[in-house]
Structure 1
């Protein structure tokens, strides 16, 4: 069954317009979900909004949005007032300019979507855009109204098509100084740096998402299954991390462990392919004849 599109419109590059659709690329819908129950009856409970002062329930029609300007002082915004200022969607992803794929910091990435042609008639124009961007190793910045908000979208070519990622606004991304400002500037040189580079080199690999399992989700699945079958599960405790006393010794130990592991992981085929050592014949010392 074909997935349902989250949005349909046009991808516009200059005067070229291509009908496209957005599909969710990452979702948490397959995670285990829990309901809140009444422990005494086993029935589900539901939320009811109540007046903070009187404690009486407030029906949906009597609920309204409010912006707090000072303590207990609110500006009331009616639904039609909010709707009136929301930008109207023209259903067009209008490319403003192209840039290199790595020019935008990942902290601005919000949600990824697959951007695919909306119908068969769009295939040629879509492939033209994809191949052009691949050839130039370019990404595109476009803007449109998505889900009632004007959003900036980064469009990148992938192996199969285009990936559209909504971007966080500048005011949503916190300054890195809050996290890094107190880190002192240090110069790391010599053996310490060499060991660090060696360890990094021995850990080189490629990203394979199938190798990263969601252990929390797996644990929940097993717990639910065990409870349904009337079994008990042994509580697992995480191993306590070892305290690093000497940074240099820790680096040397890590490098030594990596070197030993690398030797053990050599394929047996390579060992078999080695030419066996050939023993040289013993050299006899000639006996001098008596004169």
Structure 2
């Protein structure tokens, strides 16, 4: 069954136009989800809006949006007034510029979507845009009205399709200077850097999302399964806090410099493996 499109419109580059559709690329729907229940009756609970002064429930037709202009001073806006701020949409995702992939700052990345042709008549134009971007190794900045807001998207080739990532506005991204302002400047020794480089080299790997493990969700699933089967739930034992040691000593340990060879010149790990192999053979 084909996925349902979140948005349909047209991808436009100059006079070149092709019909496209956006599909959700990342979803949290597979995570373990809970409902709030009444412990006594087992019935599901539902939320209600309550007046903060009277404590009475406010029905939907009496609810209105308000902007706090000052302390306890609100400007109310009717649904029609809020709707007047929603930009008109012509369902066009217009590419405004192509940029080098090295110019992309992923700090601004918001949410990814798959972008694919929605009509067979637009497949050739779509392929032309995709292959052109691959050849020139560029991404595209586009703008459209998406979910009632004008959004800027970064479009990149991905396999036979495109990835369109909504970008956060500049005012939404907090300044790094505030977060890093208290970090002191250190003069690092050559040996420290050499050890750090060695550790990084020995720990080098490849990006493989299949190896990512959501241990919390898996643990929750196991707890639910245990409850269904009537099994006792195992309590998690907190890990002991690590001791604060000298930085150079920590680097040397991480680099494996303090490992002592076992008898016969072999490391303990290797000896253990040999013993295990013998037991298996016996």
Residue 188 of structure 2 corresponds to residue 188 of structure 1: yes
Q: 1:7 to 1:228 in 2, by over 3 A?
A: same
Contact 2:252-2:258 within 8 A present in 1 as well: no
The residue number in structure 2 matching 1:90 is 90
The residue number in structure 2 matching 1:167 is 167
> What is the aligned length?
263
Counterpart-to-counterpart distance in 1, 2:258 and 2:16: 54
The residue number in structure 2 matching 1:215 is 215
Contact 2:115-2:162 within 8 A present in 1 as well: yes
Could you say which structure has the larger radius of gyration? Answer: 1
Contact 1:141-1:154 within 8 A present in 2 as well: yes
Q: Which runs of 4+ in 1 moved over 6 A?
A: 257-260
Shift of 1:243: 2.4
Deviates more, 1:53-62 or 1:181-190: 181-190
Residue 28 of structure 2 corresponds to residue 33 of structure 1: no
Q: 1:257 to 1:126 in 2, by over 3 A?
A: farther
The residue number in structure 2 matching 1:6 is 6
The residue number in structure 2 matching 1:154 is 154
Measured against aligned partners, the alpha-carbon deviations of 1:23-69 in whole angstroms (never above 9, x if no partner) come to 00000011111110001111011111111111111110110000001
Counterpart-to-counterpart distance in 2, 1:81 and 1:120: 40
The residue number in structure 2 matching 1:126 is 126
Gaps of 5+ in 2: 261-266, 271-282
Measured against aligned partners, the alpha-carbon deviations of 1:242-278 in whole angstroms (never above 9, x if no partner) come to 2231111111111117999xx989xxxxxxxxxxxxx
The residue number in structure 1 matching 2:69 is 69
Counterpart-to-counterpart distance in 2, 1:259 and 1:167: 48
The residue number in structure 2 matching 1:109 is 109
CA RMSD of aligned residues (A): 1.8
Deviates more, 1:11-20 or 1:182-191: 182-191
Q: 1:243 to 1:105 in 2, by over 3 A?
A: farther
Counterpart-to-counterpart distance in 1, 2:166 and 2:95: 14
Shift of 1:18: 1.1
Contact 1:86-1:149 within 8 A present in 2 as well: yes
User: Secondary structure of the equivalent of 1:205?
Assistant: coil
After TM superposition, the score normalised by the length of structure 1 is 0.86
After TM superposition, the score normalised by the length of structure 2 is 0.89
The residue number in structure 1 matching 2:274 is none
Counterpart-to-counterpart distance in 2, 1:210 and 1:243: 33
User: Secondary structure of the equivalent of 1:26?
Assistant: coil
Contact 2:9-2:92 within 8 A present in 1 as well: yes
Counterpart-to-counterpart distance in 2, 1:259 and 1:14: 64
The residue number in structure 2 matching 1:49 is 49
